[in-house]
A = this chain, B = another copy of it.
Amino acid sequence: MSKIVNIGLIGFGTIGAGVIKVLTKKAALLEKKIGVRLLLKKICDLDISRRRDVSVDKNILTKDASWILNDENINIVVELIGGIHPAKEIILRALRSKKHVVTANKALLAEEGEEIFKTAAENGVDVCFEASVGGGIPIIKALREGFVANRIESIYGIINGTSNYILTQMSDKGCDFKSALFAARQKGYAEKNPTLDIDGIDSAHKIAILARMCFNQPICFKDVYVEGIRDIDGSDLQYADELGFAVKLLAVTKCGGPDLQIRVHPALVPKSHLLAHVDGVLNAIFVNADLVGEALFYGQGAGQLPTASAVVSDLVALAGKITTQDHNVCLGIGQDKRHCVIRAIDDIESRYYLRLSALDKPAVLSQISTILGKYGISIHSVIQKGRRRAEAVPIVMMTHEAKGKKLRQALAKIDKLAVVKKKTVAIRVERL
């Protein structure tokens, strides 16, 4: 007879229902594979009467998390309620009761990860979070275990499906941001309040989790520079395309020596790079590491079953630990601790794509380039789009490498010129 691992699930929403489906349908297969029975013993949710697309025994349903947290036979608590409170309190209680935790809660790990991982280590249990980044992409396992001998140097992620869907729509259909957002809502890819996605916050949560794990630094959400995609215009995608680039919302983190970068912003990605071809709601994470060189992981970043698949893979890994009394140090903790300083976005150099709206007059370009020159920014190429004397026309410029601060200062001056009619759009060109 197989050993049994008892699971308590807290949060019976879409992902919770997915986990139940997978554990039910695949129970026999998983038991055969791992020699352990994963038993869903109790389920907690504030709403236990609503019908879901999966049926469960009513006797295991509760509104009271304590019924799970106080149950000594429960080995693993799966937290799928999301948000900071009461998820944090529930997870801390579970860890202090020596229960392992599996969570998909990226906001919580990004904002309060320090306390959570510390509590787990103090209590000799694990917090597993494969489902928190990249849904169906086994990126946490790949980085922690597959690349266990590697020093991770940089990560570039397209890790928000909603934003990537919107940018892809704008690029493919030539539509504007609002119509693309509307299409995303119609498809169920965007929430009523899409701020978390389109303003880059969700991507920032995820890149903070990856950076903490890979660089073993106490990085949290507030350390991430964040810029969303609201200001991207359809024309930017078109001009970028003509120049050989796709525009993507990139989450970037790099660590070289004491210098650590962590930022989320739209970026021009050269079409020669695979990331430029990651379209629609799909996610991808591009990694540079000292031994393996470059690697990319691509797949569904969200959705009921991909996320449930990640949760169950964590359950399987923990089941192995529990049944063998494995008290190994958690991978990813105890790494090569580096003393890093997060570099301010102002100090990061980048090439830039600039789109200016300026009057079509002979002296305009000289005025603009004089200001850029004063701030040490040199121009790689200029294209003026259309000719309409005495009216504002778009001027697209690609600069050479310039520090964020210099560019910001130069643009402040440029945008005050009488011939410049709108705020200049600046998008970083990412060197991958």
Contact surface of A with B, Cβ cutoff 8 Å: 22, 26, 29-30, 32-36, 130, 135-138, 141-142, 145-150, 274, 277-278, 282, 284, 289-300, 303, 305-306, 308-310, 312-313, 316-317, 320, 323-326, 328-329, 331-332, 334-336
Tell me if B294 and A297 are in contact (CB < 8 A).
no
> Which of B34, B313, B328 interacts with A328 by CB under 8 Å?
B34
Tell me if B138 and A293 are in contact (CB < 8 A).
no
A274: chain B residues at CB < 8 Å are 274, 277-278, 298
A142: chain B residues at CB < 8 Å are 138, 141-142, 146
Q: A35-B334, A324-B325 are in contact. List 14 more A-B contacts (CB 8 A).
A: A32-B329, A34-B148, A136-B293, A137-B295, A141-B141, A149-B313, A274-B298, A289-B309, A290-B305, A293-B299, A293-B300, A294-B298, A296-B297, A324-B324
Tell me if A149 and B294 are in contact (CB < 8 A).
no
Tell me if B136 and A292 are in contact (CB < 8 A).
yes
A310: chain B residues at CB < 8 Å are 146
A150: chain B residues at CB < 8 Å are 309
> Which of B22, B35, B36, B148 interacts with A316 by CB under 8 Å?
B148
Tell me if B29 and A336 are in contact (CB < 8 A).
yes
A138-B142, A274-B278 known; A309 vs B29 contact (CB < 8 Å): no
Chain B residue at minimal CB-CB distance from A282: B294
Tell me if B306 and A300 are in contact (CB < 8 A).
no
A148-B30, A313-B149 known; A328 vs B320 contact (CB < 8 Å): yes
Tell me if A326 and B324 are in contact (CB < 8 A).
yes
A136: chain B residues at CB < 8 Å are 291-293, 295
